[in-house]
Structure 1
Amino acid sequence: MIAVWAAVLLAAVWAAHWGAERLSAPLKKLRKQWGFSVAAGGSFLGLAAASPEMGINVTSAARDVSDIGLGAMLGSTVLVIPVIVTTAYLATRKGALEGADKEHKKHRRDHYVAVDKGALTVQALPYLAILAVFALLTLPAPWRGLQPIDGWLLLIAYLAYLLQALVRGREKGEEVEWSLKEKWMAIAGVGALAVGAYFTVFSTERIVSALGIPNIVGGLFITAAVASLPEVFTTWSVARSGQVTSASTSVIGDHVVTMTLAFIPLTIIGTPIENFQLFWVSLAFVVLMAALYALFLSLGDEEKRGFGRWHIFAFWAANAAFIAVIFLWVKPLQVSGGAG
């Protein structure tokens, strides 16, 4: 029976991300129409990329299994940075990318994926600030967990991030055309998102019940891992189209939405933290991944800014350390509850 629900989970995640991709093209057109920078383009793509996560949390809240959503959000923000950066690197090994600048051959020869210099200040550093806000709202004992007031504060934090991302480097917009097909596909995308998110949570419930593991562990290592797979293909496609910076930074835009807007459904119902050790350790690695991302961008100069092979190795080493710490020290499969 687990195999059946695993197949349903895969299909549901694909449906949710199919819906998200139907929103990517309209958001890209809006970026061009309004004259926003390529670094800000990651914010637009992040809205589409994180929409399945928002749907998962809405469904988790509605079905009273908020631990699945909580685990999926934290697990995805640890795993997806290494996955997306690696995918962008591999995609840009092609000799000629559509729309890529003349420096691309040099980037390919030097074995790194180039990222626009604005990505550090527009994306990475604001994301670290949002993580600090999230930690402040959820870790201290007096207000531990997610409450309705946290939702309002996370919404304010997201709007501040989005405003600074869109305003910086804004230029004159371009003329774009909107077809009737694009509009209907966007509507279909929203429907696919809703259906996919529902069955993602529903099938995860069945799998963790059959395996006898806590919901939050299922979210961390099952839902999060499967949900990241379609993003690989999206990143590959975007990078191959020559939008290298947007491909590499959309993961940060995605995570900003995940750590703010996507948590709002869980704040509305009020979500306690059942296993505090598992929560804070996971959040610590979320911060570590973000810090590595920002650090590697800051080490680059005007001629060579981006991610090289040793950066990718460091990301995966951090991810391996996360898995080791969770299963060898926190041991959530042995103790399903913790200090709350």
Structure 2
Amino acid sequence: MSSDSSWWNLLPWAAVLLASLWTAHWGAEQFARPLRKLRRQWGISVAAGGALVGLAAASPEIGINASSAWRGSADVGFGVTLGSNILAIPLMVATAYLASRTKRLPGDSEHREHLQQRLLRVERSAVTVQALPYLAIIGLFALLTVPAPWRGLQPLDALILLGAYAVYLAQALFRKKVRGERVEWQGKEIAFAIGGVAAVAGGTYFAVMATERIVETLGISRIIGGLFITSPVAMMPEMVATWALVRSGQTTSGVTSVVGDHAVVLTLGLVPLALVSLPIEDMGLFVTSLVFMFAMGASYGGFIHFGASTHGFLRWQVLTLLGLGLCYVAAAIAWAQ
């Protein structure tokens, strides 16, 4: 088969991948709306709410893992998991920073000062509620997968991961509660939420199928395809959502949702892969990914807490996160060759 023919075979599946992941994101947004209402009704702070709303935000990754496990392509889901937990943080923070570079954000009376400081303001509680528990989850993930006696993911790990998610969600929901709001529930939004779940399931199934066809055409491994093809495409709708949140004045929500998303992906999201048992064949790539995953999470929390007199990200810190992401891409490509 000629190279031109291969590229023509690739284009339809690339279109399927794009359409499928945008469909899944649409479904996740419908599912997220009632969760945001619950956050306000239960009096959960914005930072802590990321742990709850992250269940919807992470649903495309959960769906990809479930679909890849079902189709016998667990490496696709595993690659997406690694990619989303390393590359999404710098991309979302950079998107939020650019979205905040306007003269005024709704509800932020000090925004002009933040512009002068070149600062993306984030609530301090994002560190203790989101970043520190996320680092603990990364440690648990490494403990379950790296040591030789139980290397990889097994069905028993599914129970441990479910318990870890329950603890993570509980510590967020019961920390720093505020006064709840009265909200009205409509049958239409519940119907849309149910439809959203169906859209996530269908969209992610076809996304995995498209990834399988793309990696076959390109002659690359499925884990690399999930890491460098499916994962970046899946981030595109999330970047649009982050931009919209920050432009509406919800900077903390826009910045912290990515970590809440990742915490769900590394616990609840890995359950389907654990149930079918996932061996780790390329330990070099995997350990490299773990190192960068921890470094990215630690940098995220450290920059918010220590980087400025008021908590948030300065411009040089945003650029540092992007540089760290580029270093990972280079290292992963080197290991893959």
Query: Given the two structures, how large is their TM-score scaled by the length of structure 1?
Result: 0.94
Letter matched to residue 94 of structure 1 = T
Residue 206 of structure 1: aligned partner? 213
Give, in whole Å, the separation in 2 of the partners of 1:318 and 1:239. 23
Give, in whole Å, the separation in 2 of the partners of 1:23 and 1:104. 31
SS in 1 for 2:313: strand
Task: Verify the 8 A CA contact 1:45 1:246 in the aligned structure 2.
Answer: no
Aligned partner of 2:310 among 301, 304, 307: 304
Task: Verify the 8 A CA contact 2:16 2:206 in the aligned structure 1.
Answer: yes
In structure 1, stretches of 5+ residues that fail to align are 335-340
Letter matched to residue 21 of structure 1 = E
Percent identity between matched residues is: 53
Letter matched to residue 326 of structure 2 = A
SS in 2 for 1:223: helix
Give, in whole Å, the separation in 2 of the partners of 1:43 and 1:237. 20
Give, in whole Å, the separation in 1 of the partners of 2:112 and 2:165. 36
Task: Verify the 8 A CA contact 2:165 2:267 in the aligned structure 1.
Answer: yes
In structure 2, stretches of 5+ residues that fail to align are 1-8
Residue 124 of structure 1: aligned partner? 131
Give, in whole Å, the separation in 1 of the partners of 2:213 and 2:54. 29
How far has the Cα of 1:30 moved from its partner? 0.6
Task: Verify the 8 A CA contact 1:16 1:196 in the aligned structure 2.
Answer: yes
SS in 2 for 1:64: coil
RMSD across aligned positions (CA): 1.1
Q: For 1:67-106, what aligned pairs fall within 5 Å after superposition? A: 67-98=75-106, 100-106=107-113
SS in 2 for 1:170: coil
Aligned partner of 2:166 among 145, 159, 174: 159
SS in 2 for 1:146: coil
Question: Alpha-carbon deviations, 1:225-280, whole Å to 9, x = none?
Answer: 11100001111111122211111000000000111111000000111112111111
Give, in whole Å, the separation in 2 of the partners of 1:285 and 1:148. 26
Residue 2 (str. 1) matches residue 5 (str. 2) = no
Residue 327 of structure 1: aligned partner? 333
How far has the Cα of 1:44 moved from its partner? 2.6
Question: Alpha-carbon deviations, 1:191-223, whole Å to 9, x = none?
Answer: 110111001100000000111111100011001
SS in 2 for 1:307: strand
Give, in whole Å, the separation in 2 of the partners of 1:101 and 1:54. 34
Q: For 1:24-103, what aligned pairs fall within 5 Å after superposition? A: 24-98=32-106, 100-103=107-110
Aligned partner of 1:148 among 132, 151, 155: 155
Query: Given the two structures, how large is their TM-score scaled by the length of structure 2?
Result: 0.95
Deviates more, 1:40-49 or 1:290-299: 40-49
Residue 18 of structure 1: aligned partner? 26
Give, in whole Å, the separation in 2 of the partners of 1:104 and 1:24. 27
Residue 247 of structure 1: aligned partner? 254
> Structure 1 residue runs of 4+, over 6 Å off?
none
Give, in whole Å, the separation in 2 of the partners of 1:43 and 1:109. 32
Aligned partner of 2:277 among 258, 270, 273: 270
Give, in whole Å, the separation in 1 of the partners of 2:137 and 2:238. 22
Give, in whole Å, the separation in 2 of the partners of 1:122 and 1:206. 40
Letter matched to residue 33 of structure 2 = A
Residue 337 of structure 1: aligned partner? none
Aligned residues: 329
